Amino acid sequence: MTPVFSDNGELAVRFAFLSGDDSISRDFARDRIIASVKERQPLADVERFNSEDADFSAFFERIATPSLLSPLRVFLVPDVQTLADNDFALVETLLDSDIPDGCVIFESDKTRAAKRGKESAVSKKYAAFLDSFDKRASGNPTRFLAATFALPPDYKMAEWVERNTTELLGRRIAKKDAEHLVDLVGSDTAILYSELTKVDLFLAPGDAVTYDIIDSVCGAVRQSTQFELAQALGEKNMAKTLEIIETMYTGSVYLPLFVGAVFRHFWSLFKVYQFSKTNPGLLKKYRSSARQQQNDAALALAVGGGVLAETQARRLYPAVIKPRLIDQAVSFTESQYKRIFSQLAEFDTGIKTGKFDDSKTGFQVFCYKIAKGA
């Protein structure tokens, strides 16, 4: 990111526009600007615009009027896209002004980035502000700092972890270890950041974030989800299934929630299985060595099986490719599916009525039958 101060110690960035839906990275960039100002001038004031306290015109006047008490000031304008049309006229005036004693940081999670094939709708005045700021930033990037922080798709979330482990914590993490953290806690950036900061507390300064520390800090305190159990059973992975059951029983567990998730997962597998049987050509293409042919066939099978809609191609990797959903679906026979659904219905009724054993051992035996299709 552009240095906040020039080589001679003068404030270089006068206006910053931080946008995008990656709020963790965006907040860090804002805090880094403020920290740079505070480091140079500890008495610097930070003022945030709040529409509930006053109109933007009053805030504009405070920005435009030099302070007699503070040598440097930072003004924050969050959710700039929510400003009224006449406020954007004041913003444009501000951008043409010379603020002698501070900088203004505009923030927004709304951009014009393409989403699902369509351009994200923004107001005309906000669109004009985006155009104006982009033009100024391209002409004078030192004075006008523009930075966009977009959430990556799920399959690139490990890259987000790699980058932010370095930028936010000042530590190293290998790609495989970043992938392990994502597999362990999911792709929600707030949860990932929370787990990274938790790991940070356990490490000595300069130590890297490794697979073992992730397992000991994150895995040890985390209860597995019903979706992870369903995936493990679909993969016929009893070792992983038993590990998940161990974490489930570390606290209170409501088995009907898990049984329901397993049923929904296997019902999706069954629909994909049925569609693949009537479309063997797609299954043959899916098993080919050509990556694009595999992906096209996987999408067609997922759509045909009702797992995805035709417009959800972006969901192909996290929902189908990564968990090997097609392979799971065709690894069971039709008769096995029928037995599994019968067992699920019977077990669900049994644990709700008290006829079936809901202990850890009883649930382990039940899951073994599901994975084996027995």
Give the chain's domain count: 3
Q: Is residue 5 part of a domain?
A: no
Q: What is the CATH number of the domain that holds 190?
A: 1.10.8.60
Q: Is residue 4 part of a domain?
A: no
Q: Stretch 32-54: mean pLDDT, rounded?
A: 89
How far, in Å, CA of 243 to CA of 199, rounded?
A: 22
Based on the fold, state whether residues 203 and 141 are members of the same structural domain: no
Minimum mean pLDDT range among 60-74, 103-117, 266-280, 300-314: 103-117
Q: Stretch 110-126: mean pLDDT, rounded?
A: 66
Based on the fold, state whether residues 119 and 254 are members of the same structural domain: no
114 phi and psi angles, rounded to 5 deg: -65, 135
How far, in Å, CA of 69 to CA of 103, rounded?
A: 16
* C-alpha gyration radius of the chain: 27
Q: Per the structure block, which two tokens stand in for 294?
A: 């595999």
Based on the fold, state whether residues 367 and 230 are members of the same structural domain: yes
How far, in Å, CA of 300 to CA of 292, rounded?
A: 12
Based on the fold, state whether residues 213 and 272 are members of the same structural domain: no
For residue 200, give its domain range. 154-221
| Predicted confidence (pLDDT) per residue in 96-113, tens digit | 988 878 899 999 998 875
| Predicted confidence (pLDDT) per residue in 205-233, tens digit | 889 999 988 888 875 555 567 888 899 99
118, 148, 178 — which closes off a domain? 148
Going by C-alpha positions, the residue among 29, 27, 5, 11 that lies closest to residue 72 is: 11
Q: Is residue 3 part of a domain?
A: no
Based on the fold, state whether residues 172 and 269 are members of the same structural domain: no
| Rounded percentage of the chain residues whose pLDDT exceeds 70 | 95
Other C-beta atoms within 10 Å of 314: how many? 15
